Structure 1
Amino acid sequence: MPQDTVPWDIFPPTPKLDLSEAEQQGLVKTKRGIRLWHAIFGIPLEKTLRAGRVPILLMHGGVSSSDWNALQVKYLAPNHTVIVLDLPGHGRSPFDDRELSYEKLASDVAGVLDVLKVPKVAIISWSEGTMLAWSMLAYDQHHRIDRAFCYSALDDYRKADAEKVMQIWMVGEYFARTRREWEETHPGQKWDDFLGAWMTMWTREPIWTAETFKHVPVRGESKDAPIVWIVTGDHDEWIPPETHDRMAKFIPNSSYLKMPSAGHLTFIQNPGIYHRMIDCFLEDANVVSTLKASL
């Protein structure tokens, strides 16, 4: 890396999943009739479930694919069961329903877990994947989440400055690259139709407040409460910085991490720091300590 380059201002090549290492892969069909592509890496799922452990679900960003999480798969798979999936119309998933809403999408993700017979997952997500993690918390799927590492999301579409964001050079490059990748996996289909369906949802959702999440059990008050980390990068220009200040107040006893030397794509820009923070997140636990005072 040149001396005058900072980690949050580089755009590495898209990593690729090594599907030869997948324990299983393919399309699953949810009760709602939506087909989503998934793959499972690392420790066999049955072994993890028998041991009472929780598999990890990696959730990718908007208009990309699960390939973008390949570095995390490689890092986590030696010690965990790692599930990846492609959101509707993304990557290897067909586009079965183009009338999108975050509530329906949360149901679709839960539907994949139903097919796999996975009661709970630890979610590690970025951008649109994090929107889905928040959607599961918001729309009665919180019981499927043991913990959630929620990197970079929006709480209210009206508070995002899309025009300003699109002027960021890397955002333009991101959409150009993801379009090329999408057209490779969806030959003969129209990018504008795919993007337009998602853009329609993004211009009306979400509008979330603390009231949206009042039903979520609170850590320290309920054994069923998920561990929620709200995470942002200290140099993430794609999301207004005050967004995560608000979201950190939505769920009592959640944790707020501002990751150092991190941009919106830090999971590929600075994966060493990102993976260390994931280790801390996975080690987080509810521990009851008895302190004995000596007289």
Structure 2
Amino acid sequence: MTDARSTPRTVIALALLLACAPARAEPRWQTLPPTPAPVAGTSSGRAAVNGIRMYYATIGSGPPVVLLHGGLSNSDYWGHQVAALASRRTVILADSRGHGRSTRDDRPFGYDLMTDDVVGLLDALKIPRADIVGWSDGAIIGLDMAMRHPDRVGKVFAFGANADPSGLVEGVEKNPTFAAFIDRAGAEFGALSPTPKAYAALVDAVGRMWAGQPRWTEADLKRIRAPVLIADGDHDEGIKRAHTEYLAATIPGAGLLILPNASHFAFLQDPALFNAALLAFLDGP
């Protein structure tokens, strides 16, 4: 299901062509393709932000865009998107607090706190305003920025977001694809984190956040004035379709894009289609 008000016809046509592609032995939406290798040419560092050391990497030139990953993962997951964006944008990657290469402090995880981390990173990099591309928790952070820091946000591409816990599919951690992701993220955490044995604590802390946050009302969502595209895969393991449609219908002027034969990991499963939709949105009016 694609909202033609916000997505050019070329993207719609591409979606239809790929949806009609020959059947695979295993449905694409049940696969978990490899995490991309770090993109060559990035310049990285760790910024002192909001009581933590936040890992970031930059590449490219042009208008800035920040890529925010999902819970338990790290910024390497955006490799396919970095490759598509870096020729026309200054791409900023960041590992959320306690994730990947970033540290955390003793405060409980919360979306407001993590949003303030991103704003602090933009301050450290002397970037007054940027577009935001978010996946899952990163998408929630992007929407939170649009509500609470509207002057710092251009456009928001929000893939796999929810406005409150009722939008989550119960028992998603038992889904084979999602369970494989949790295991993989643990191995990556062990290889990247300054506290490599703390993955169980991260899972517990992030799980507590997922259980109670965000809790945005309809009035909260209607405060958003940034151009927003709400996107998801048609087989998302963790987000209810009706909830995705609610977000798009409630945020003023938001578009809706449902990618075919893809799940919560569409940016890995079908990067060509994901990137076409992303570029059409960012480069459009």
TM-score when normalising by structure 2: 0.87
Superposed CA RMSD in Å reads: 1.8
Larger RCO (alpha carbons 8 Å, 6+ apart): 2
Q: Is the 8 A contact 1:58 1:82 kept in 2?
A: yes
Match of 1:39 in 2: 57
**Rg larger in structure:** 1
Q: What is the aligned length?
A: 263
Instruction: Using the aligned pairs only, state the percent identity.
Output: 32
The answer to whether the 8 Å contact 1:29/1:35 transfers is yes
Q: 2:128 aligns with which of 119, 122, 125?
A: 119
Alignment deviations for residues 168-223 of structure 1 (CA, whole Å, 9 cap, x no partner): 11011010110111111235532121221212222211111221134333xxxxxx
Instruction: Give the gaps of 5 or more residues in structure 2.
Output: 1-21
Residue matched to 1:207 = 215
The alignment partner of 1:72 has SS state of helix
After TM superposition, list the pairs within 5 Å mapping 1:234-245 onto structure 2. Answer: 234-245=234-245
SS at match of 1:248: helix
Distance 1:101 1:147, change over 3 A: same
8 Å CA contact 2:59–2:91 kept in 1: the answer is: yes
Paired letter, 1:263: S
> Does structure 1 conserve the Cα–Cα contact (< 8 Å) formed by 2:136 and 2:159?
yes
Q: CA shift at 1:126, angstroms? A: 1.0
SS of the aligned residue for 1:105 comes to helix
Counterpart of 1:130? 139
Structure 2 residue 115 is matched with structure 1 residue 106? yes
Report the counterpart of residue 248 of structure 1 in structure 2: 248
Q: Distance in 2 between matches of 1:72 and 1:8?
A: 18
Does the 8 Å CA contact 1:34/1:97 hold for their aligned counterparts? no
Gap change, CA 1:169 and 1:129, over 3 Å in 2: same
Partner of 1:268: 268
Query: Which runs of no fewer than 5 residues in structure 1 stay unpaired?
Result: 49-53, 218-225, 286-295
Q: Tell me the alpha carbon deviations over residues 89-144 of structure 1, each in whole angstroms, 9 at most, x when there is no partner.
A: 11110122442221111111111001111111111121111111122123x11221
**Cα offset, 1:2, TM superposition:** 7.6
Residue in 2 aligned with 1:290? none
Moved more, 107-116 or 199-208: 199-208
Q: Secondary structure at the match of 1:245?
A: helix
Q: Residues 52-131 of structure 1 correspond to what in structure 2 (within 5 A)?
A: 54-131=63-140
Distance between the aligned counterparts of 1:70 and 1:112, measured in 2?
20
For residues 194 and 276 of structure 1, what CA distance do their matches in structure 2 show? 33
Match of 1:26 in 2: 45
Normalised to the residue count of structure 1, the TM-score between the two structures is: 0.84
Contact 1:105/1:132 (8 A) holds in 2: yes
**1:230-280 Cα shifts (integer Å, max 9, x gaps):** 111122232111111111123211111112232111111011111111121
After superposition, the Cα gap between the structure-2 partners of 1:77 and 1:159, relative to the gap in structure 1 and judged at 3 Å, is closer
Say if 1:97 and 1:109 are closer, same or farther in 2 by CA, change over 3 A.
farther
**Partner Cα separation in structure 2 for residue 144 and residue 250 of structure 1:** 22
Work out whether 1:172 is the aligned partner of 2:179. yes
CA contact (8 A) 2:52 2:102 kept: no
